[in-house]
Chain A
Amino acid sequence: MPEGLSAGEVGKEIAEHNEHFASDADTDHGDRWLSILEALLLSLVAVFAAYSGYAAAKWSTESSVTLAKASAARTKANRADLEALVIRTGDSASFNALFTAFTAGNVNAERLAAKRLRPGYRPAFNAWLATDPAHNLTLRPGRPTCRNM
């Protein structure tokens, strides 16, 4: 049995080695492109994620600020509504004093009470007086401060 390889066997081995080497080179080449693609994807995604996080933070701040403004406006609305309620109550009280004097037939007290009416209330009171409330029986019950009169 001869030692070593024959020329034909050596040629065959070399050919196989070459094929194997070529295949490895192809694999390395493909892996390199895949790595480049991964790096590209990672860098792109990092930039987009940073932008998205930044925009989310900005919109979140915008939301908080706008909701705080809404809350402040609601507080102002409540305060104005309370002031309106106080004014309406005051107008009702002054009207009651005048009406009591009117029903009692006390002209001086009636004049005094009419003088003490709030200036903003006077147009409504005058309009109410113009309906002749003492004799006009078709009037609905209520005061000049009522919205449904």
Chain B
Amino acid sequence: MPQYVIPQETASRTHDAQADAAFNKGADAGATADKYIRATVFLATVLFLVGISGHFRIRVARLGLVSVGGLMLVYALIQLLALPGPPS
């Protein structure tokens, strides 16, 4: 009957909706964190490539490593720019 209303049922539905919203928000935040970690991995690779390039005597090899590192840096920067800033 429509007259039969239990307030706790309404509260339960409200809390359920809040839980769903918070879960989705948390999952999105986790995905953003993962994307930042991926960008960090790219940047670490750039550090490695540019770091070892100085140990090569062949100039072309150095240039090649620095170029690859530069390209990866640009790619990582594009990824970083597309991501939201850190939460306050």
Q: Residues of A with Cβ closer than 8 Å to B?
A: 27, 30-31, 34-35, 37-38, 41-42, 44-46, 48-49, 51-60, 62-67, 69-71, 73-74, 76-78, 80-81, 83-84, 87-88, 91, 120-121, 123-124, 126-128, 144-147, 149
Return the CB mask of B6-37 against A: 1 if under 8 Å, else 0: 11110111111011111101110110111011
Q: Is the CB of B36 within 8 A of A52?
A: yes
* Tally of chain B residues near chain A (CB < 8 A): 54
- Contact flag A84-B3 (CB < 8 Å), given A63-B27, A66-B22: no
A63–B34 Cα gap in the complex (Å)?
A: 11
Chain A residues touching B, majority SS: helix
14 CB-based A-B contacts, threshold 8 Å = A41-B66, A45-B73, A52-B37, A52-B39, A52-B76, A56-B37, A59-B30, A62-B29, A70-B19, A78-B12, A87-B8, A120-B6, A124-B3, A146-B1
- With both beta carbons as reference points, the residue of chain B lying nearest to A46 in the complex is identified as B47
A84–B9 Cα gap in the complex (Å)?
A: 6
Q: Is the CB of A84 within 8 A of B8?
A: yes
- Contact flag A58-B87 (CB < 8 Å), given A45-B47, A49-B47, A147-B4: yes
Q: Which 8 A-B pairs have the closest CB atoms?
A: A56-B36, A77-B15, A66-B26, A70-B22, A59-B33, A67-B26, A124-B4, A73-B19
- With both beta carbons as reference points, the residue of chain A lying nearest to B25 in the complex is identified as A66
- Expressed in whole angstroms, the minimum distance between the Cβ of B12 and any Cβ of chain A is 4
Q: Is the CB of B40 within 8 A of A30?
A: no
Q: Is the CB of B18 within 8 A of A63?
A: no
